[in-house]
């Protein structure tokens, strides 16, 4: 049995689909707080109607902040739980400022509830946590960056140019944003439970995670929301940096295959891995717009705002070398172009129905 938190979100839903195909029993935890964060249009409940048809899936409308109910769930299933895949979160920079206590209680306290239940009731299982590259704060912005026509780029002589940013980058002395701070807290907790209690825990520090099942909103899920905006003719707002900020994008499917590789051979001691699309799947927002226009034959409507988000990255490309060294069978199978084509088709199909 696998417990998946945030089971209706992009990564949680992909996790459930993937492991259900492998005939694993899944307990999915999701109370659709996304609709509270970003409005009803960003609700993930439509996925519940699909996934509930699988008899191996059991959905719980449970809040991870409810320690009593989380502990009861783990205690009841203690002998069955083989893995916890924790993807639930408040995921937005901007939203965290509105309700800092809500943000922190979900991201940090909710994670602590799950970790302690894991330690008490199923310590032989494995705990996978979807962390974020925001744990590095705005440190990447102090790299030697050059402004090109459509993107910012790092100096070619710099060690990060070829493969991207690795796990050795400091997470201290930097502006994280409140969201980044709450996710860093949970990241450190996951590490500490692995090291202090010698449990199988791992943090995957993702960059831009994407895919056609993403319910993108203005405040979270840039590529999904950008595709929606172009296909449906809505104006898209770019927050600062002239639209030249760079992200590497990884499809949700490739994230889950990384999870699968870890579960086949879990390591104790609080492992940490950066996980992203790499240089070959990187783009600026301007470049992403250009790609979407070419694939969809639709004209975009966007504006570039002067102010950037606090703590936001100008340039980020993930170095996957550490994970590939530990798990050499893993590789990215879905390119940025593949992801965009599926996302665009998904939006056109919704528009036609």
Reduced to 3 DSSP states, what percent helix, strand and coil does the chain have, rounded to the nearest 5?
Answer: 45, 20, 35
- Which domain does 106 fall in, by range? 2-352
Per-residue pLDDT, 216: 74
pLDDT of residue 153: 98
Instruction: For 24-41, write each residue's pLDDT tens digit.
Output: 999 999 999 999 999 988
Q: What is the dihedral of CA 38, 42, 44, 45, to 10 degrees?
A: 100
Q: For residue 139, what are the contacts with CB-CB under 8 A and spacing of at least 6?
A: 169, 170, 171, 173, 174
Stretch 41-56: mean pLDDT, rounded? 92
- CA–CA gap between residue 251 and residue 336 (Å, rounded): 8
Q: Which of 61, 52, 73, 57 is nearest to 22 (CA)?
A: 57
pLDDT digits (tens, 9 = 90+) for 263-313: 999 999 999 999 999 999 999 999 999 999 999 999 999 999 999 888 889
Share of the chain above pLDDT 70, in %: 99
Q: What is the mean pLDDT of residues 228-240?
A: 94
pLDDT at 248 over 90: yes
The predicted structure's pLDDT at residue 217: 73
How much is the pLDDT for 214? Answer: 82
Provide CB contacts within 8 A for 283, sequence distance 6+.
151, 246, 247, 249, 291, 336
Domain count of the fold of the chain: 1
Arithmetic mean of pLDDT over the chain:
95
Render pLDDT for 116-159 as a digit per residue (tens, 0 to 9). Answer: 999 999 999 999 999 999 999 999 999 999 999 999 999 999 99
Q: What is the pLDDT of residue 353?
A: 65
Alpha-carbon gap, residue 46 to 43, rounded angstroms: 7
Rounded Cα distance, 284 and 316, in Å: 10
Residue 79: what pLDDT?
Answer: 96
Per-residue pLDDT tens for 97-112?
999 999 999 999 999 9
CA dist 235 and 244 (Å) reads 18
Taking each helix axis as running N to C, give the angle between helix 178-196 and helix 110-121, from 0 to 180 degrees, rounded to the nearest 10.
10
CATH of the domain at 259: 3.40.50.720
**What pLDDT is recorded for position 2?**
98
pLDDT of 86 over the 90 cut: yes
Smallest Cα–Cα separation from 166: which of 265, 276, 266?
276
Q: Is 79 exposed, middle or buried (0-12, 13-18, 19+ CB in 10 A)?
A: exposed
Query: CA 56: distance to chain centroid?
Result: 25
- Which parts of 99-166 fold into alpha helices (H)? 100-104, 110-121, 160-163
- Name residues whose C-beta falls within 8 Å of residue 254's C-beta, 6 or more positions apart in sequence: 277, 332, 333, 334
* b/e 126-157 (16+ beta carbons within 10 angstroms → b): bbbbbbbbbbbbbbbbebebeeeebbbbbeee
Task: Kindly calculate the radius of gyration of the chain based on its CA atoms and give it in whole angstroms.
Answer: 19
pTM of the prediction?
0.95
**What tokens appear for 283 in the block?**
């783009």
* 176 membership: H or E segment, kind and range: none
Going by pLDDT thresholds of 50, 70 and 90, the confidence category of residue 218 is: confident
Q: What is the pLDDT of residues 163-210, one digit of tens each?
A: 999 999 999 999 999 999 999 999 999 999 999 999 999 999 998 999
């Amino acid at each position: 049995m696998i417990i998946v938190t945030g089971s209706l979100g992009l990564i949680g839903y992909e996790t459930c689909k993937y492991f259900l195909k492998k005939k694993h029993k899944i307990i999915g935890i999701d109370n659709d707080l996304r609709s509270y964060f970003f409005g009803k249009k960003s609700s993930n409940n439509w996925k519940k109607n699909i996934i509930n048809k699988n008899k191996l899936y059991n959905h719980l409308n449970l809040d991870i902040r409810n320690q009593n109910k989380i502990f009861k769930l783990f205690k009841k299933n203690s002998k069955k739980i083989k893995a916890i895949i924790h993807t639930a979160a408040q995921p937005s920079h901007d939203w965290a400022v509105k309700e800092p206590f809500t943000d922190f209680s979900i991201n940090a306290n909710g994670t602590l509830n799950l970790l302690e239940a894991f330690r008490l009731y199923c310590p032989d299982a494995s705990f996978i946590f979807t962390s974020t590259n925001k744990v590095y704060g705005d440190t990447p912005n102090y790299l030697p960056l050059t402004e090109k026509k459509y993107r910012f780029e790092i100096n070619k002589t710099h060690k990060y140019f070829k493969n991207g940013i690795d796990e050795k980058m400091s997470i201290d002395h930097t502006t994280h944003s409140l969201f980044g701070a709450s996710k860093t807290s949970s990241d450190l907790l996951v590490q500490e439970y692995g090291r202090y209690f010698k449990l199988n825990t791992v943090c995957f520090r993702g960059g831009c995670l994407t895919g056609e099942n993403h319910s993108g909103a203005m405040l979270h899920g840039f590529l999904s929301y950008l595709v929606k905006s172009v296909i449906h003719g809505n104006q898209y707002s770019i927050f600062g940096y002239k639209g030249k900020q760079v992200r590497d994008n990884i499809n949700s499917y490739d994230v889950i295959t990384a999870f699968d590789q870890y579960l086949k051979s879990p390591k104790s001691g609080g492992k940490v891995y950066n996980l992203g699309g790499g240089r070959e799947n990187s783009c600026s927002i301007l470049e992403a717009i250009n790609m979407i226009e070419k694939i969809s034959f639709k004209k975009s409507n966007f504006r570039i705002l002067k102010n950037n988000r606090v703590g936001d990255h100008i340039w980020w490309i993930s170095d996957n070398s550490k994970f590939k060294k530990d798990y050499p069978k893993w590789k990215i199978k879905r390119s940025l172009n593949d992801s965009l084509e599926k996302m665009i088709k998904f939006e056109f199909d919704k528009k036609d129905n």
